[in-house]
Amino acid sequence: MIEYYLIIYIYAMALATISIALYGIIIKPNIIKKIIALTILGDTANVLIIFLAYRLISFPKPPILPSLKPSREELVEFMKSSVDPLPQALVITAIVINVAVIAFLVFLAIQVFRQYHTLEYNEIIKLKRGEQV
């Protein structure tokens, strides 16, 4: 029974973190803070996907087959005792993509700072309007 409460706890914490990250992305006026909130959002999503791969059995094994050329019986035994390998295969690409996107956003933020000498979103809008007038 305690596993179910733990699962509820983990889901609630993950989704609370996602909502905090969304709050940061939308409300915070500083561009760097928006990027930090975006990293929190991406990492939490990855943790959630990894958690979906977990199996509700005692001591699930890592997704590695016991022999090099498995027989049908070994595959069935593997599926009964190991974690789901598919979410891990998806997350390992998602992490690298996340880093690439964040690096590009950081470069854009540096470019904004060089142009306007500030990273506050509201001040950048004011400066832009002042230039046009």
Partner 1 sequence: MVKVLKILAITFLVLIILFTVYFVIEDVLGGSPKPVIRELGQFYIDNTYNVGKWWSGSPETVTAILWDYRGLDTIFETTVLYIAIIGCMVLAYKPLANILKKYEKEKHGLTLIVKTTVKIIIVLIAIVSINLALRGYISPGGGFAGGSAYAIAPLIIIAGYSVYYLLSMGYSLSKSAILRSIGLIILVIIAVAPLIYLGYILQNQMKTYALFPGYPVKIGPFYIGGSLIFMNIGEFLIVSMEFIMIFILISLYMRGGEET
Contact set with partner 1 (CB under 8 A): 4, 7-8, 11-12, 15-16, 18-19, 22-23, 26-27, 51-57, 62-72, 75, 78-80, 82, 84-86, 88-89, 92-93, 95-97, 99-101, 103-104, 106-108, 110-111, 113-114, 122, 125
For residues 72 and 50, the answer to whether their CB atoms sit within 8 Å is no
Q: State the residue for tokens 């050329």.
A: 69
Nearest residue (CB) to partner 1, 43 versus 69: 69
Q: Min. distance of Cβ 129 from partner 1 in angstroms?
A: 12
Q: Min. distance of Cβ 104 from partner 1 in angstroms?
A: 5
13 φψ region: left (φ > 0), alpha (ψ -120 to 50), beta (else): alpha
